[in-house]
Amino acid sequence: MPNAVPAAGRYADLKSTSFLIYLYYMATVNEIRNRVIDSLMSINDPHYLKVLEDMIKTSNVEHSSIPLTEEQKIMLAMSDEDIKEGRIIDQEALTEKEFEWLAKK
């Protein structure tokens, strides 16, 4: 393979592998956070949510701000606009639409 790039040369512009480890860590953290958020969005039991909230409040987790990307800011602004314009759907209707969509596949 004459055009193959040696593995060591792929990231030659990086000072160390610590940057790659950081990227992998952040991707993993973001994936887990998104799965947790997805799960939370499907919970309708206020008592269960209150217990989760209390657990988070009393944990020793360091709270830090996470900067948003421009794309995330745009998506949030679009979501706010959708809410203001009444373009919303409840979870039950969304789930039904998802099943309809999956049935067509």
pLDDT in tens, 16-43: 556 556 666 677 878 888 888 988 999 9
C-alpha angle 31-37-41 in degrees, rounded to nearest 5: 145
Task: Provide the number of structural domains found in the chain.
Answer: 2
**Neighbour count for residue 94 (Cβ, 10 Å):** 13
Within this chain, do residues 57 and 87 fall inside the same structural domain, yes or no? no
Within this chain, do residues 8 and 55 fall inside the same structural domain, yes or no? yes
The range of the structural domain enclosing residue 96 comes to: 67-105
Within this chain, do residues 24 and 55 fall inside the same structural domain, yes or no? yes
C-alpha angle 10-16-18 in degrees, rounded to nearest 5: 110
Within this chain, do residues 29 and 47 fall inside the same structural domain, yes or no? yes
Query: What pLDDT was estimated at residue 19?
Result: 56
Q: Can you say how many angstroms the Cα of residue 16 is from the centroid of all Cα atoms in its chain?
A: 27
Query: What pLDDT was estimated at residue 22?
Result: 63
Whole-angstrom Cα distance, residue 102 to residue 105?
Answer: 5
- Whole-model pTM: value is 0.35
User: For the chain, what's the residue count?
Assistant: 105
